[in-house]
Structure 1
Amino acid sequence: MSKNKLIKRVCAVMLALSCLLASVGCSANNAQRRTDTTNTMYVGYIGTSFPTSYMPWQSRDGIAPTVSSMIYSTLFSYNDITGEYDPLLADEWCYTDKEGNPLTTADGGVDYDRVAQTYSEEQSLPDTNKKKYMVVRIKLNENAKWTDGTPVTVNDVFFSFDLCANNKLSNHAGALAWVSDLKHKYDNGILKQTGIYTYDNNTPGYPISEDEKDTVMYLHVNTVMGAIASLFTTVLILPQHIWQSAISSDMPINSTTPSEELNYLYQHPVGCGPYKLDRDNTNNAMITLVRNDDYFLTKEDGSKLYNVEKIKFILYQDQNVAIFAIKKGYIDVLDASIPANYATLFEKEKNISVLSVGNTYAKSLVMNINPVENQKNSTRDLLSNVDFRRAIALAINQEELIDDVLDGAGTTYPAGLVSSSMTAIYNEEANILTGDYEQRLAEANAILDKYSTEKDELGYRLLNGKRISFDILTNPGDQDCVSFLQVQLQKIGIEVKFAAAGNSPENTYLYHSKFDMTLQGITFSTSTVDIMFNSHFVNLNKSSNYGRLINDELAAKINVMRNTLNLDEKYQLIKDIQVDLANLYYKVPLFSSNVTSVARTDRFTGFVADESQTAFNLSSLQNVEFIGDKK
């Protein structure tokens, strides 16, 4: 983007911020931070509303996942850098043989060769065979407690996983997906297969001593390396003693008409995470969390893991208002990334730090290549042809989009849809959308000439006398991106236009083929490919496969990859699949935008951000030092 254009944008933003001064200044919440000398971090959140329920399974939208992950806990977190599962509620795990003997190396790591040897015979069995499973041993942190003082035990994990598997009690389709690789199955509320074993429920006779009865359990999972991913890192564990008596098949835990008891539990969460909800100081404009001083994880010296004693989330419904709030000192940090060009607003601010980090996520252009019958039309029929899609892909210039849309704050993304930072599985040979742009345009136009050579006065191609035009369904924040795609695709005679996605685009449009193209965020890692490749490129029922791709050869390769236990072979298959994905031109990468965020440093210093993170994250909460009481 040119310097003049950037200056104009920044001036426009400054004008907007000035106009909003009055509305920001009169808020009671805004005034609190300026006079607060306590160890309280004020966090700005940009959204339409705050959640009214703190049952962690109810919402994955907006700020809900952030709050839930601080009140509750999963068993582990996945470390993309090391490729390991870091301890949270559980501190140990391993694969075992079918007698429960650990399959580990001398240093305690996973012995993938022995895992492959032990379970190689199961690979030939059909997935429906109850003998086809792997055994996983989990040990909980013995110091973990719920915020009411009750110890966390394997019974809570059993309850949570069992509840996920039983849709009669959960009424939660997402929960079923989380445990889809757990060999623990219900049919209409009746348990048909058991796959969770504890001291009190140990039919196979796994080695669990009486001293371990509260902390050690075994799981039966599908013979897929990624089977543990969502079990370990997605399911937030619930306290059995709190929820069990409140739910039934008539009153499932995820209810739109909860009983008085259930509604109370929604509003007053009992968790085991690093923070607790301060119900008395939480409302529709502010969420207050206080540090759980009994949290079981600590620093190496035994001190509290998190340095921030209290967190207040402040709701802003406008991005410009939120940015102005941090400039004026009404908040300490934004729980959101900001457009890269907005960073210019903070260049001369002494007490504001701007953090910009890379991103494993990419924005992609998804084409509706196989709409349901009643959504087919002559224009969408063009997208079913891989050559036509190739022409569109060739005309997309990622470097220009990064410059124009992101003001240079981003990187190109490979056509194989796996980030080059995922060194173990990235395949450079799949990055086929490179080379001289003018040559790519010439090739794209040559392809499209096979479909239409007739053009209108603006140079757009015509089909049966009508302009070839596609709507790109997305949110208003992507209008710049669509505008610059218009410029690029006009060079090959294809028109694209912005179409507003609304509040619930999946249920309204995407799951029903009611779109031409859409923009979708994508990321694949070693821990997620087993689940996410299926979701994006195989499954048709309410999945991320919005364009309803059906490719039997690709599906077969993904299935083989999922069921391969030899790690080297699995990684090679992932690399091979990337080449197939690139040559389908179904989801075409546009760019990976840097994550730019801001934090004030006059009350807290030491904000940090890892890849894909804003300045507000758990690492920052561990690292920051409160200096607001030293002034």
Structure 2
Amino acid sequence: MLQCGSIYSHTPSPLKALSFLIFLLLLLPGSGQCEPAPGIAMHGSPAEPAGFTHFPYANADAPKGGRLTLAKRGSFDSLNPLIVKGESAEGIRDYVYESLLARAYDEPFTLYGLIAEKVDTPDDRSFVEFTLNPEAKFSDGTPITVDDVVFSHALLRDHGRPNHRSYYQKVTKVQQTGDRTVKFTFDGSGDREMPLIMGLMPVLPHHLIDPETFEKTSFVPPIGSGPYLVGEVKPGASLTFKRNPDYWGAKLPVNKGQFNFDEIRFDYYRDAGSMFEAFKAGAIDARPEDDPTRWTEGYDIPAVRDGRIVKEEFSVAVPAGMSALVFNTRRPLFADSRVREALIRLFDFEWINRTLYHGQYARTESYFARSELSSHGRPADEREKALLAPYASEVKPKIMDGTFALPVSDGSGENREGRKEALALLEEAGYRLDKGKLRDKTGEPVSFEILATTRAEERLLLTYARALQEVGIEARIRQVDSAQYQRRKQTYDFDMIQYDWPVSLSPGNEQSFRWGSDAAAVEGTYNYAGVKSAGVDATIKALLEAKDSESFVAAVRALDRLLLSGDYVVPLFHLPAQWLAYWSRLKRPADTPIYGYQIGTWWAGP
């Protein structure tokens, strides 16, 4: 039986029979056919009805005009964000390339029509069919056709980033089923996210791209179907986007009240200090802040006191994600989980939070902290127990029963208990403390390198390195530029790095790219820790196959328990809210979605 759009319903059971009867009546001769829906949700039904005019967090009457200047730290050497090679400039994927469907940011994971005006998928999600909008066209005026969609899939499958290659390999057949319809048939993996993954696939112009040169970095301005054109390009320094006055999708419900600035420019800065000074001088319009010291003390300036700069905290309902110091378990030192656990116990959060960050942070004790997806403080339910039963040896008992907590010190900076526990674990792993040095079985002193890219990172890492020195471990902090850091991350050429994995309320295929065993052996993935776990692979598969929200939440929590039990990272901390400072000439809608502020819905005031 073919369902339309979102294929899982939360209709209360007393109404199910009535709903099914009505559905059957609609299929009777003369009663009409079920029409493909304008949206699709991962779980449940889309919140917006057919014919909605705009998202509730956008102001449909927002004025157009002005320039928005934002800042990025580092540099760029490419305008292609869809390949591994190079460091791509910010904004290409957001403003130039469009996908078949557009995401709603006040729902966990729901997509609505963009290049595709309709989407159709069966109950088992074994395929998805898109109907293209007849008005859709690239910025050079060329209509978007099914051929462009088929070409984009093949191009990204064969030449795109590893995540694209991984996702799109699950498509077993691509068919043009009509003048404006294209059907993707999936393998038998049971991955229920695939219709949405294909809905988010960027659509590229077949007539302008040569697959043979696609993977080469370039400063040639790309052509897409999005609301902006690439304007001035200053390699490594700045990139300006100009709003396309002939943008085909300006009146679509998903775009009403968005993309309001005539120009959007990204300026690049070498360090955080100069970037902050540029913001205070008015050269940058908005600045997300993640430094508690700066947020507490750095904004005591006239522009804030007289209201020209606004400091605002935005509540969010999404997971905090995992910010952490990452062990590269491919390295022999970190292949032993006892060593990893010992180094976790040496991280004195209470001291660091008080002395470096004014006590503003909360400790991160879950990969999905601050949400219902977190396993922290929750005993495993029956669904989780069933999922984890074959992998019981991979889960620590305290994490299973919900009593686990990261070590808590007295905040004095001594952390005697942490050092004692760490040394016991290290001795158990075959290391010994001798003449102030921790030595392995051959007598060699233990040392490793931690990469850093900012002074803020370096300050934290130096504090941690001093704690490691107390047990005879030498941790060398090496600050590198963004280009070198990117190369070394992509090839896993590091001992330890600081990294942040953001998370949505609907984690899916990206979890394989971060934690899957296959991803651990492929360069360019986000599995920086080198996780290889049958249990992790199984729980990721379960969350992708979940047909209802209860099964989905259980699978995510089970994954959380396995990752926490593996001690793959030193969990750091997260902010209680989104912090943003911006010049008051920027205006925003009254409502903020669950994912936090969306700068694309803002506009320029007087």
Contact 1:339–1:596, Cα closer than 8 Å, also in 2: no
Q: Distance in 1 between matches of 2:82 and 2:433?
A: 52
Contact 1:44–1:322, Cα closer than 8 Å, also in 2: no
- Please name the residue that 1:241 is paired with: 207
User: How far off its partner does 1:352 sit?
Assistant: 0.9
Contact 1:76–1:90, Cα closer than 8 Å, also in 2: yes
Aligned residue identity for 1:226: E
Q: Distance in 1 between matches of 2:582 and 2:254?
A: 28
In structure 1, the residue corresponding to 2:324 is in which secondary structure?
strand
Q: Distance in 2 between matches of 1:70 and 1:576?
A: 37
Contact 1:46–1:319, Cα closer than 8 Å, also in 2: no
- Please name the residue that 1:392 is paired with: 343
Residue 418 of structure 1, aligned match among 347, 355, 368:
368
Residue 147 of structure 1, aligned match among 135, 139, 158:
139
Contact 2:72–2:266, Cα closer than 8 Å, also in 1: no
User: How far off its partner does 1:175 sit?
Assistant: 4.1
Residue 45 of structure 1, aligned match among 71, 79, 103:
71
- Please name the residue that 2:38 is paired with: none
In structure 2, the residue corresponding to 1:231 is in which secondary structure?
helix
- Please name the residue that 1:71 is paired with: 96
Residue 434 of structure 1, aligned match among 378, 391, 406:
406
1:218 is aligned to 2:199: no
**Change beyond 3 A, Cα 1:555–1:620:** closer
Q: Distance in 1 between matches of 2:251 and 2:108?
A: 23
User: How far off its partner does 1:161 sit?
Assistant: 0.8
**Change beyond 3 A, Cα 1:321–1:384:** closer
Aligned residue identity for 1:197: Q
Q: Distance in 2 between matches of 1:302 and 1:50?
A: 28
In structure 2, the residue corresponding to 1:272 is in which secondary structure?
coil
Residue 475 of structure 1, aligned match among 453, 478, 483:
453
- Please name the residue that 1:586 is paired with: 568
Q: Distance in 1 between matches of 2:198 and 2:351?
A: 40
1:93 is aligned to 2:119: yes
- Please name the residue that 1:530 is paired with: 509
- Please name the residue that 1:339 is paired with: 291
1:364 is aligned to 2:327: no
**Change beyond 3 A, Cα 1:92–1:397:** farther
Q: Distance in 2 between matches of 1:533 and 1:623?
A: 34
User: How far off its partner does 1:565 sit?
Assistant: 4.7
User: How far off its partner does 1:485 sit?
Assistant: 1.5
User: How far off its partner does 1:612 sit?
Assistant: 7.5
Contact 2:433–2:471, Cα closer than 8 Å, also in 1: no
Q: Where in structure 2 are the equivalents of 1:49-64 lying within 5 Å?
A: 49-51=75-77, 53-58=78-83, 64=89
User: How far off its partner does 1:363 sit?
Assistant: 1.9
Contact 1:74–1:237, Cα closer than 8 Å, also in 2: yes
Contact 1:367–1:517, Cα closer than 8 Å, also in 2: yes
Q: Distance in 2 between matches of 1:498 and 1:71?
A: 38
In structure 2, the residue corresponding to 1:461 is in which secondary structure?
strand
Q: Distance in 2 between matches of 1:547 and 1:606?
A: 39
Residue 326 of structure 1, aligned match among 265, 268, 279:
279
Aligned residue identity for 1:598: A
Contact 1:452–1:461, Cα closer than 8 Å, also in 2: no
1:292 is aligned to 2:244: yes
Residue 264 of structure 2, aligned match among 308, 311, 320:
311
1:255 is aligned to 2:209: no
TM-score normalized with structure 2 length = 0.70
1:598 is aligned to 2:599: no
Q: Distance in 2 between matches of 1:277 and 1:64?
A: 11
User: How far off its partner does 1:449 sit?
Assistant: 4.2
User: How far off its partner does 1:172 sit?
Assistant: 5.9
Structure 1 residues not aligned, in runs of 5+: 1-37, 97-102, 104-114, 120-133, 184-194, 201-212, 257-262
Q: Distance in 2 between matches of 1:456 and 1:534?
A: 41
Residue 176 of structure 1, aligned match among 165, 182, 186:
165
**Change beyond 3 A, Cα 1:626–1:494:** same
Structure 2 residues not aligned, in runs of 5+: 1-63, 379-398, 410-414
User: How far off its partner does 1:70 sit?
Assistant: 0.5
Q: Distance in 2 between matches of 1:360 and 1:612?
A: 11
Contact 1:182–1:219, Cα closer than 8 Å, also in 2: yes
User: How far off its partner does 1:302 sit?
Assistant: 9.7
- Please name the residue that 2:438 is paired with: 461
Contact 2:85–2:215, Cα closer than 8 Å, also in 1: no
- Please name the residue that 1:283 is paired with: 234
Higher helix share: 1
